[in-house]
Structure 1
Amino acid sequence: MRFAASCVGALVATISVARVHSFSIARHDVIVDLVSSSSIASHHCPQQLSSSCGERRIIHGSTRDVKLRAKPNDEDETIIDAIVEEKTAGLALNDEENTTKKRYIQSALRDLASLSLVDYKWRSALFKKNEADRMEEEWMARMMGEDPAYARPMDADETKRGPLGNAEKSAVQWLMDVIEEEGKRAKRIAESDGELIRPKDNEEGGPLSDLERRAVQFLADVSDSEVERVRSGTVRPKDMNDKSPLGNAEARAVLALQKGEQSDSIRKSKNGPVKKEGRRGCKTNDVPGPLGEFERYVGDIIRSERQRVKDRELNEGKLVRPKDASITSGLGEVERKAVEDWETLQNEEKQRLLSLRDF
């Protein structure tokens, strides 16, 4: 009879556990602690309630504890009580935390955009004021029949402006465009709820937006081409019909290598009968190709330097510059161009120095 009562108690406990599971399984993870009744634990822990005979499970949703306690009475009847305790709010709490973090980030972004907008207004006003003052002074000087004085290389007349002035003018213009573009973007962010607006999302465009668009387009072309290459089973990027930047780069590299290989094959074919006859072999620069062009360039420099040594001996030991050698080379051309730019820069700075005296 006691054994039958124990079996009945085990069956009741199993049915109750199934009901508790069906009751507690919801949208959250739950942890179920099952403590067997005295009748179930009689084989391991007879005549006492053993919490070590329990079972822990994780079910979808928040964390919950389900405890089953068995209380034997005088007639060996089992009474099962299910106590469900919720420990955390699970997804609801996580959603609230994420919303709070997002709100803080948007608020911080909006505040930064407001500060950037203030900085933009100050810088823009400063640039415009300085430019207005310079144009006013230039206009007054022209009215008096004098050349306008200037302190910065970029403010020189187009006929007197040199490489330094052109470089400064381009850099300043680029910086002003960036400041205007970022000011408009900061204004849009400040007027919104802290929404992140990227430079490429600016409809009016600008240096930064153009740069980001080109970078994003480059990555998108490479990504799309690689996905299509995998789908089509093409091995190399250069073999795609619609080549990406990666495919174009590989195609150019392979073409250069093929030209070098072809020129080397031609040179070897010409060297075959030449060696048998004992005549001079065919050199790399005698055959069209990348290696031949490079060897020809280096050979011209070597011949020019040898001739420069002879020119020095004929010039009573005075130094002869590469640009003044009787045989020109790539090194002489580079020096000649550098000297011309340096002389232009010197003349530009001399004109600016004369203008500073009247500034």
Structure 2
Amino acid sequence: MTLAAGPTADTDPRVALHRLRAEVAKAVVGQDAIVTGLLIGLLCRGHVLLEGVPGVAKTLLVRAFAAALDLDMKRLQFTPDLMPGDVTGSLVYDPRGAAFTFRQGPVFTNLLLADEINRTPPKTQSALLEVMEERQVSVEGSPRALPEPFLVIATQNPVEYEGTYPLPEAQLDRFLLKLAVPLPNRDEELGVLRAHHQGFNPRDLAGAGVRPVATAADLAAGRDAVGRVGVVDMVLGYIVDLCRATRVSPSLELGASPRGATALLAASKAWAWISGREYVTPDDVKAVTRSTLRHRVRLRPEAELEGVTVDQILDAVLGTVPTPR
């Protein structure tokens, strides 16, 4: 994915946010599209699911992204023995005051990296449902608001399913985007090796030169600007037609819901704004359709047996639904 050049006025938050890709690239080679997806998630207040094999720098990418935005980040390794209180926090008895006090869990941060989220049982996975939807934690009936901004970035391995618990549809639906983290091409992998040969330490981002280039204020201004991006009825109809086409596809047993349509609208507006436009085009919708809908639809078993993928079905939908002119 290639973005158009952003505006040049320093007062435009796009300028600062466009610097993110170059700053993250100091630590992670060749993942510009994933950085853009994470940025769309923050601009839309939507969470992101990263899927990729081990060793493609998913954790390093998120750490560098948080450092370049000067945001607080916490990493939580999801394991089979993880309990809900380990995620959200819990009440702890304080003998000095003879009272229970709330000890915050790792969700009280700006960026929560939920590493290998599908390795914990549904009971613990469900602890994130309220967190992701309401951006709060309720303990003993008392809601506690999370910091702003707040984003869950979850990872999972697409090739190893032993000892995992597939995410329920209700949880998947709370992710705005599902991004496939690719393996680097040959030149990019050479760049990784050169960096390590020259002493790059993935645990020392400051030593790699990663510095804050944008702030939460830039994000807030960006969100306001995305909210003002225009969408004509013809493009709204195109979004609806794409989602409705997934519901009648013979290869899918579950199509995109109306919530999926609203997610596609939000992601399209953010993509258009990042690309330097104040209105959404059909090409903007096409650019984010797969990442927005691939986790909201489900293949029929017979289609899976034939080796069909969700992305292939979405490509077919994009090819058959008439594009507005």
Q: What TM bracket, shorter-length normalisation?
A: under 0.3
Higher relative contact order (CA 8 A, sep 6+): 2
More helix by share: 1
After TM superposition, the score normalised by the length of structure 1 is: 0.17
Looking at CA atoms only, which structure, 1 or 2, has the larger radius of gyration? Answer: 1
